[in-house]
Amino acid sequence: MKIIEVTNLHKIYNSSEVKVHAVRGIDLSFEQGEFTAVVGPSGSGKTTFLNMMGGLDNPTEGKIFIDGINIGELKSSKLTDFRMKNIGFVFQAYNLIPVLTAKENVEFIMHLQGRSKNERNERAISLLEQVGLGDRINSRPNKLSGGQQQRVAVARALASKPKFILADEPTANLDSDSTANLLDIMENLNREENITFIFSTHDARVVKKARRVVTIEDGKVVSDLTK
Amino acid sequence: MILTVAWRNIWRNKRRTLITVASIFFALFFGLLIRSLQIGTFGKIANDAVSSYVGHIQIHQKGYWEEKIINNVFERNNEIETKILQHESVKSIVPRIESFALASAGVRTKGCMIMGIDPDRENNMSSIASKITEGQYLKQDDIGAIIGDKLASFLDLKIGDTLVMIGQGYHAVSAAGLYPIRGIVHFPSPELNGRAVYLTLPMAQDFYSLDNQLTSMSILLNDNDDIAEVKKYIGEITGDKEYEIMDWRELLVELQQLIESKQVSSNFMVGLLYMIVGFGVFGTIVMMTAERWREFGLLAAVGMKKIRLILTVFIETIFLGFLGLLAGFAVSLPIMIYFYKNPIILVGEMAATYEEMGFEGVMVASVDLPFMINQIIVVAVLVLIAVCYPVFKLIKLKPAQAMKA
């Protein structure tokens, strides 16, 4: 089942001095349950592409359909709502709210969704246990390692029961063990619960795990391989 | 949860929070103290003048206030006096003759201000008896005089000595009299000390060749707010246009102007203080916004609507403002109460300046609630203005760009 369809996507950044054509006509689609890596060198347009798919940035041209809805037509407030209900995010760094504990970070998005306190509590604990942090639920981000923080971010991304998770270079700041651990968790979630993951990365370990690898260079898709 | 986030964010950077709270605290603290002392002191000056001499309302013969001569007198009317006293807001009526004459003793002479008074009623209003430093206060049927201490010193008069007075009476009749000194009085005002001579009303009427006439009737009310109502009532009683009925604001125009001019300079100082503090608070909020811009981007990215982000920042600022205002009020209130109960006695040049203006050299705080509420509102509005910056920034927030910040 196709959950994302991108057609003729362009992004041009107009600064006062230069015009940067970051994404140049991408056409792609993603199915439910994919475990996909979007790869490419720095500055190739990976993050811009993911940001547009996540509704964090507007395309200059082209359309993005998520579950048949053209997100480009949604107004700012509706788009925020749409993101909250449909898309989970894991960013490279500065992922968590520093004043909240791991559990509260996971609960936060459910609070925004208006879920009951009991439901929030149970699901947050369950998700943190799933990512191996059942014993750190009351720790604040500054008391967690980088890998642990990213696992909390994965739990938080899952909390809203999204249609897919976009992860922008989630392992970029992690050591080998943490990277392996995080990838195992995400792979298990993908295999066991059919959760769709789309990564941007240039980490070979992530690419190795991915079942589909889309390569972007100079804002264009240069290859799209399914293993 | 928004409340939790807001509260924890406040304590995330304790130093910044303390600086902001301290700014708000000092703004309110100094603002309240300055305004309290100003309102209290000027209020006391006006209140002293009103309650100890001028009264809330005065009745004169029409034209007296423009031309204060002994010919501008009016016949005392017991019926009118009784009717005025029947009004529930009227506390007392004090009849007077006020004019000028030459006071003499030995080879020295000085222009003086004669006040013919009803000793009991006058004392109820002005408490002159308590200001007597030598001798005694006038009896109702006294034929003597009490005089200010500076005048006594100038004329070298002591208790029992005779004061000679010469002047011009009603319709240019010669006025002359000899009055034994009964008492010497000290007023806060140097002007009064150097010129005041008190006689009983009959003695003053006799001196100026008046019958049952007065230059003024001073009316003291229970409440300053009833002035308009009582003025109207007196106007209805007196009926014809023979009298002029003036309230203390009309009588003390110069004092009012002086108070207003002092208030302008004081308001300027307080305004300057608020402006400096306002910029301080604004600076802190700008810093806080910049530091947390990526976090705002993240929150918006994961689905927090801008209105909730704005609400969070707003609540944080309200918390900060509340802490500062609460601390400022809690610390300044006891100080204001202390200076209300224990006025500051001025010394040196400052005291001399006050006395030259005819006021007691005393600064007293006001503990009136309305002015305190006004100051709190002013500081709160400053804080609210400062919070406009993150609000406007957040309205324009773009998550992807913010997270790159």
Contact B302 A109 (CB under 8 A): yes
Orientation angle between helical segments B369-386 and B253-291, nearest 10 degrees: 30
What ranges do the domains of chain A cover?
A: 2-226
**Which chain B residues are Cβ-neighbours of A160 within 8 angstroms?**
303
- The answer to whether A141 contacts chain B (CB < 8 Å) is no
Q: Enter the tokens of residue B314.
A: 């707003």
Find the angle CA(B119)-CA(B123)-CA(B129) to the nearest 5 degrees: 95
Q: Calculate mean pLDDT across residues B342-358.
A: 79
Helix (H, G, I), strand (E, B) or coil at B110: strand
Predicted confidence (pLDDT) at residue B356 exceeds the cutoff of 80? no
Side-chain half-sphere CA neighbours of A100 within 13 A:
25
**Model confidence at B97, in pLDDT bands (50, 70, 90)?**
very high
Q: Calculate mean pLDDT across residues A116-135.
A: 90
**More confident position, B309 or B241:** B309
- The answer to whether A140 contacts chain B (CB < 8 Å) is no
Quote the pLDDT of residue A227. 78
**More confident position, B271 or B361:** B271
Query: Which residue of B5, B303, B400 is in closest CB contact with A80?
Result: B303
Quote the pLDDT of residue B340. 92
Q: How far is CA B348 from the centre of its chain?
A: 22
Q: Calculate mean pLDDT across residues A49-72.
A: 92
The secondary structure element, H or E, covering residue A210 is none
Quote the pLDDT of residue A170. 85
pLDDT over 90, % of chain B: 44
Predicted confidence (pLDDT) at residue A94 exceeds the cutoff of 70? no
Contact B301 A54 (CB under 8 A): yes
> Across the strands, what pairs with A118?
none
Contact A104 B303 (CB under 8 A): no
Integer-rounded Cα Rg, in Å, for chain A is: 17
Query: Which residue of B8, B294, B302 is in closest CB contact with A94?
Result: B294
- The answer to whether A44 contacts chain B (CB < 8 Å) is no
Query: Which residue of B12, B299, B400 is in closest CB contact with A56?
Result: B400
Residue pair A158/A80 in contact by the 8 Å Cβ criterion: no
Rounded alpha-carbon distances, angstroms, from residue A132 to A154, A196, B187, B241, B358: 11, 20, 86, 97, 83
Quote the pLDDT of residue B42. 84
**What is the distance between the alpha carbons of residues B183 and A89, in angstroms, rounded to a whole number?**
93
Predicted confidence (pLDDT) at residue A175 exceeds the cutoff of 80? yes
**Which chain A residues are Cβ-neighbours of B12 within 8 angstroms?**
98-99
**Which chain A residues are Cβ-neighbours of B4 within 8 angstroms?**
100, 104
pLDDT digits (tens, 9 = 90+) for B127-141: 899 999 999 999 999
* First-residue to last-residue Cα distance in chain B: 26
**Model confidence at B112, in pLDDT bands (50, 70, 90)?**
very high
CATH class of domain segment(s) A2-226 = alpha beta
Mutate to test the interface with B, among A20, A46, A51, A166 (most CBs of B within 10 A): A51
Q: What is the DSSP letter of B302?
A: T
Q: Enter the tokens of residue B195.
A: 């010129």
Pairs of CB atoms within 8 A across A/B = 68
Q: What is the DSSP letter of B138?
A: P
From chain A residues 68-107, the ones with a CB under 8 A of any chain B CB are 76-77, 80-81, 83-85, 89, 91, 94-95, 97-100, 104, 107
Name the least confident of A62-66, A191-195, B174-178. Answer: A191-195
Distance from CA of B297 to the nearest CA of A (A): 9
Nearest alpha-carbon partner for B382 in B289, B286, B274: B274
Predicted confidence (pLDDT) at residue B352 exceeds the cutoff of 80? no
Query: Which residue of B8, B298, B305 is in closest CB contact with A80?
Result: B305
- The answer to whether A109 contacts chain B (CB < 8 Å) is yes
Q: Calculate mean pLDDT across residues A192-213.
A: 88
Q: Calculate mean pLDDT across residues A96-101.
A: 89
Predicted confidence (pLDDT) at residue B358 exceeds the cutoff of 70? no
Its ipTM equals 0.86
Q: Enter the tokens of residue B107.
A: 């080879």
Quote the pLDDT of residue B108. 92
Quote the pLDDT of residue A30. 94
Residue pair B355/B371 in contact by the 8 Å Cβ criterion: no
**Which chain B residues are Cβ-neighbours of A109 within 8 angstroms?**
302-303
Query: Which residue of A77, A94, A108 is in closest CB contact with B305?
Result: A77
Quote the pLDDT of residue B357. 66
pTM of the model: 0.70
pLDDT digits (tens, 9 = 90+) for B242-265: 899 999 888 888 888 888 888 888
**Model confidence at B368, in pLDDT bands (50, 70, 90)?**
confident
pLDDT digits (tens, 9 = 90+) for B288-307: 888 888 889 988 888 888 88
Quote the pLDDT of residue A48. 92
Strand order in the sheet with A220-226: A87-90, A164-168, A196-201, A35-39, A212-217, A220-226
Q: CA of B303: which chain A residue's CA is closest?
A: A84
Residue pair B380/A68 in contact by the 8 Å Cβ criterion: no
Q: CA of B308: which chain A residue's CA is closest?
A: A112
